[in-house]
């Protein structure tokens, strides 16, 4: 925060566009902050990479947000980077910068939602193999079963999701429904059926599904259709935003006030700004413009 201004700058980082779902929740809860978002689109996906590579890439983005954009807080709006590189990110920036990941808030939201104490998690390969969700859920007293769903990120990136925006209920299936949507729905169905068979084999009685990847909220209407009625779906965006507000209240001594004007948003990407603007608005739920191309190095 600059001395002349009490308006904090929040740096938000993702490997791609998915973290814009988290930015959307942040803006809703803390609309008066300034936000700088970087999507490391040139190096996406992180979910199939090694811990060392993910940590190196994530630390570069974190430094960019702090050194170039003056971020006072960092929100790691990427489950894979939060699961594997949170400590590396903290080590890469001054200790005065609060770094918030999405895993702990997601596990806390799952605990609030689950009555049976058994929770399913879907995520990228790297997140699942880190077992970060299992560990965070265990501290919340929950049992978990995690499943990697590596086909889902490319389907979302390709735009093979519900035609318009986040959380819109899926129209009844008709002959005119786009065939791309049917492909995505089938992939989701196969993953979730496998997961529920594995859960039954392990004697779990899950009532909650954690979307452990920031791309998955765009699949929520499709996922809802496949899950047993009454299953709760956790998108950690909301609880991450609440955690940020907690930090803001702690540091500024007051909850954020509603902004009279639109929040100040700055966007950066490491690859095609055109694609970022086009796909990004779906994730953010408002137009994404003036995206600047940055080179974070190797
Ligand atoms: N942002 C990543 C996550 O939330 C998904 C995309 C990727 O694999 O880089 O896990």
Q: Is 40 in the pocket of ligand 1 (CB under 6 A)?
A: no
Distance separating alpha carbons of residues 87 and 171, to the nearest angstrom? 43
Residue 213: active-site member: yes
What stretches of the chain adopt beta strand conformation (E)?
A: 9-14, 34-39, 73-76, 98-100, 118-123, 143-148, 208-212, 232-235, 264-269, 291-293
Q: Is 213 in the pocket of ligand 1 (CB under 6 A)?
A: yes
pLDDT digits (tens, 9 = 90+) for 11-61: 999 999 899 999 999 999 999 899 999 999 999 999 999 999 999 999 999
- Architecture of domain 9-101+238-293 in CATH? 3-Layer(aba) Sandwich (3.40)
State which ligand 1 atom lies nearest to the alpha carbon of 46: 9
Identical fold at 9-101+238-293 and 103-236?
yes
Residue 137: active-site member: no
pTM, whole model, 2 decimals?
0.92
Domain extent listing, the chain: 9-101+238-293, 103-236
* Distance from the alpha carbon of residue 215 to the mean position of ligand 1, in angstroms: 7
Probe ligand 1: pick from 39, 57, 77, 79, max atoms within 8 Å of CB?
79
Residue with CA closest to ligand 1 atom 7: 45
Could you tell me the fold of the domain covering 103-236? Answer: Rossmann fold (3.40.50)
pLDDT digits (tens, 9 = 90+) for 157-179: 888 887 654 445 455 444 456 78
Question: Average pLDDT for residues 89-102, to the nearest whole number?
Answer: 97
Q: Is 18 in the pocket of ligand 1 (CB under 6 A)?
A: yes
Please name the residues in contact with 31: beta carbons below 8 A apart, sequence gap of 6 or more: 256, 258, 259, 263
């Amino acid at each position: 925060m600059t001395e002349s201004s009490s308006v904090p700058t929040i740096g938000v980082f993702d490997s791609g566009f998915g973290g814009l779902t988290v930015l959307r929740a942040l803006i809703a809860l803390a609309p008066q902050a300034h936000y700088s978002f970087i999507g490391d689109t040139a190096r996406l996906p992180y979910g199939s990479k090694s811990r060392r590579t993910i940590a190196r890439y994530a630390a570069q983005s974190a430094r960019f947000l702090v050194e170039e954009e003056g971020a006072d807080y960092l929100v790691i709006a990427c489950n894979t980077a939060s699961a594997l590189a949170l400590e590396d990110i903290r080590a890469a920036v001054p200790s005065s910068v609060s770094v918030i990941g999405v895993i702990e808030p997601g596990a806390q939201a799952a605990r609030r939602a689950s009555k049976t104490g058994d929770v399913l998690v879907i995520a990228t390969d790297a997140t699942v193999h880190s077992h970060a969700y299992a560990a965070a859920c265990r501290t919340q007293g929950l049992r978990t079963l995690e499943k990697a769903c590596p086909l889902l990120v490319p389907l979302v990136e390709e735009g093979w999701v519900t035609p318009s925006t986040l959380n819109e209920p899926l129209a009844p299936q008709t002959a005119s429904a786009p065939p791309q949507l049917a492909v995505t729905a089938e992939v989701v169905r196969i993953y979730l059926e496998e997961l529920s068979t594995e859960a039954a084999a392990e004697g779990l009685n899950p009532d909650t599904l954690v979307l452990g990847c920031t791309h998955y909220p765009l699949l929520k209407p499709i996922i809802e259709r496949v899950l047993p009625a009454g299953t709760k779906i956790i998108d950690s965006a909301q609880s991450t935003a609440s955690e940020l507000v907690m930090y803001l209240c702690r540091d500024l001594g007051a909850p954020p006030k509603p902004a009279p004007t639109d929040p100040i948003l700055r966007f950066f990407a490491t690859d095609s700004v055109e694609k970022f603007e086009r796909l990004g608005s779906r994730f953010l739920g408002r137009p994404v413009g003036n995206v600047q191309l940055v080179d974070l190095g190797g």
